[in-house]
Amino acid sequence: MLLLLRTTLCCILLAIICSCKKQEGLIDNYTDPPDQITTLKTIVSAAGREFIEVQWNKVEHSHFEEVSYAVYLEGEKIVDKLSSTKYSLINLEPGKKYNIKVIASTDNGKQVEQSVEGSTLPALNESEKVYLQQYSFHDFSLLLGPTGLIKLEDGGHLVVRELAHPTDFTHVHYKMIVFRVNKYGQMLWYRLLSFQAFNLPVDSAVFQLTTIKGDQEGILFAGNNALKFAVSNGEVLLKKSYDDLLPEQIILSINKVSSQEIIAATNDANLISVSPEDLRLIWHKNSQGQSGTLESIQVDSKKNIYSIFADRNEQHTSIKVNKYDSKGKFLNTFQFDGRLEGEYNWGFLMTALLVDPQDDLYLFGYNASYSYTRYFKFKADGALIKKNEQSENLLIKGAHFNAKGEIVANGQVDGSGRNTWGGIYVFDKDMNIKTKQIWTSLPPHGLSGITSNADGTYNLFASFLPVNSQYDGFMFIKTALDGKI
């Protein structure tokens, strides 16, 4: 018995000794990770005549120490101990280039820094009436893709486009750019936004703009997100994602029904109602059994909602408009015959829908196979009033009412090769074409957007190929009366 007890105690002692040796081995082999912080990448994210905003990525420390940031302007420290990843430098001189440095550091002395150059926008000469403006933001950058455009009460505009730019902190070469111009097209400020933040593929970009509170605030819809910003300087006020309700969907059209409601439609035939104040969802209606896209939302005096419906099941061979009640409940689909003698009729792309105070509706688009115009006028119950009976060459992309109540339809007329020009047809309310204006006196261009002025002039936003010293890239042109250049 005594021998057994001694043997057991020896085994236990041996196990303890072995265990201690293993633990010692573990401790001896442990090495602290290097004391370091991650890379800093800084960009100019917004600018105006008297301010520049810089933005940078969040810097991390390998030992989880707190990282703070300092900002220097022309070598002078402006602020330190920042925890946020952006800062606006104010009270700057217009039209001047500045050196801006950001330093990320920890309390134990680890730091990383980067300097960037940023320029304020040029001073304005309001007495100088300018009718031609070219927009250029950085060397080797281009303004591309679709255009979001809205005219402000002061005669200026908000514009959204894609900016292809070689430097940003995600190594993605495209950003959204929002900017404001005055009535002469002179830029007041701009702001860069990330496509990743909007969960939006670059090749699916569509931008929708509206304003609230007497043009004090703007709202941008992109992808399935909404962003509210200050019209005075572009400062972001609020951002809202609807990805939980509209996964992988894109908002194609909006209509500000009132100061309390914006209605939006998607590429999967969904409708949502949004509060402009806080961007919260009021109601949501899914596709209700339909497969297709909803575009160009309009609302009549009885709050009924109308939208162009492009039916995927029919490959757009039919021309359809959906009607809903004020809460998005589907009521009816109106169908129109777009065929004309002497044309191939393989499909139609309808692009613009308007409603007048009498609740008559106007529908515009073109033959998808050939650049021939299509337009219709119909009543709120879908009864056809008029359609075009002969081919017209304007490939209509948009339409709006001017100050006289006439309808201005804008689009493209294609020539041979790469030649293409913007143009407008002006209709009376009986859908008679009053005037036509095709801007063939300008170099070939793509018309990105157009608005009307009360004096009969127009504001054009167009993209030109870099083959002409005067007309190059994305430009603003204010026309003379009746659209003459």
Query: Under the phi-then-psi rule, with left for phi > 0, alpha for psi from -120 to 50, and beta for the rest, what region is 259?
Result: alpha
CA-to-CA distance for 334 and 319, rounded, in angstroms? 8
CA-to-CA distance for 55 and 197, rounded, in angstroms? 14
The residue ranking higher by pLDDT, 152 or 198, is 152
How far out from the chain centre does Cα 353 lie?
21
Highest mean pLDDT among 23-27, 314-318, 344-348, 452-456: 452-456
CA-to-CA distance for 22 and 434, rounded, in angstroms? 94
**Which of the four pLDDT bands, split at 50, 70 and 90, describes residue 169?**
very low
- Write out the two tokens for 188: 């007041």
465, 443 contact by CB (below 8 A)? yes
Q: In this model, does residue 128 exceed pLDDT 70? A: no
CA-to-CA distance for 445 and 458, rounded, in angstroms? 16
> Which of 7-11, 301-305, 325-329, 470-474 is predicted least confidently?
7-11
Distances (CA, A) of 7 to 15, 19, 20: 13, 19, 20
The three state secondary structure string of 436-477 is: EEECCCCCCEEEEEEEECCCCCEEEEEEECCCCCCCCEEEEE
- Tens-place pLDDT, residues 325-341: 999 999 999 999 988 88
> Which of 206-215, 252-261, 414-423 is predicted least confidently?
414-423
- Tens-place pLDDT, residues 381-421: 999 999 998 888 899 999 999 999 999 999 999 888 788 99
Q: In this model, does residue 13 exceed pLDDT 60? A: no
> Which of 17-26, 121-130, 193-202, 348-357 is predicted least confidently?
17-26
pLDDT, mean of residues 222-241: 95
Q: In this model, does residue 463 exceed pLDDT 80? A: yes
DSSP assignment letter at 197: G
CA-to-CA distance for 477 and 484, rounded, in angstroms? 11
- Per-residue burial over 129-162, b if 16 or more Cβ lie within 10 Å, else e, is eeeebebebeeebbbebbbbbbbbeeebbbbbbb
> Which of 34-38, 142-146, 154-158, 244-248 is predicted least confidently?
34-38
Confidence at residue 316, expressed as pLDDT on a 0 to 100 scale:
65
Give the HSE-up count for residue 197: Cα atoms under 13 Å, Cβ half-sphere: 15
Give the HSE-up count for residue 470: Cα atoms under 13 Å, Cβ half-sphere: 6
Task: Output the furthest CA–CA distance in the chain (Å, rounded).
Answer: 120
Confidence at residue 333, expressed as pLDDT on a 0 to 100 scale:
96
The residue ranking higher by pLDDT, 128 or 299, is 299
Q: What is the mean pLDDT of the chain?
A: 88
Confidence at residue 24, expressed as pLDDT on a 0 to 100 scale:
47
- Tens-place pLDDT, residues 426-441: 999 999 999 999 999 9
DSSP assignment letter at 482: G
- Tens-place pLDDT, residues 48-88: 999 999 999 999 987 778 899 999 999 999 999 999 999 99
Confidence at residue 268, expressed as pLDDT on a 0 to 100 scale:
95
**Which of the four pLDDT bands, split at 50, 70 and 90, describes residue 138?**
low
Q: Which residues contact 230 (CB under 8 A, 6 or more apart)?
A: 216, 217, 218, 237
> Which of 256-265, 304-313, 333-342, 437-446 is predicted least confidently?
333-342
181, 187 contact by CB (below 8 A)? yes
Q: In this model, does residue 173 exceed pLDDT 90? A: no
Instruction: Compute the CA torsion angle 363, 367, 371, 374 (nearest 10 deg).
Output: -30
**Cα–Cα nearest to 143, from 442, 450, 462, 440:** 462
Q: In this model, does residue 154 exceed pLDDT 80? A: yes
pLDDT, mean of residues 93-116: 93
pLDDT, mean of residues 293-322: 92
Token pair 């879908």 in the structure block, residue = 382
Q: In this model, does residue 6 exceed pLDDT 60? A: no
Amino acid letter, residue 312: R
Quick count: other Cβ atoms within 10 Å of Cβ 26?
Answer: 9
- Write out the two tokens for 71: 């900002």
- Tens-place pLDDT, residues 449-462: 999 999 999 999 99
Q: In this model, does residue 131 exceed pLDDT 90? A: no
CA-to-CA distance for 139 and 83, rounded, in angstroms? 31
- Write out the two tokens for 414: 């294609």
208, 227 contact by CB (below 8 A)? no
45, 53 contact by CB (below 8 A)? yes
Give the helix/strand (H/E) hosting 373: strand 373-378
pTM: 0.87
Residues above pLDDT 90, as percent of the chain: 68
- 431-440's contacts with Cβ under 8 Å and 24+ in sequence apart are 431/362, 431/375, 431/377, 431/385, 431/386, 431/388, 431/407, 433/392, 434/406, 435/482, 435/483, 436/394, 437/482, 437/483, 437/484, 438/394, 438/413, 439/483, 439/485, 440/413
Confidence at residue 371, expressed as pLDDT on a 0 to 100 scale:
74
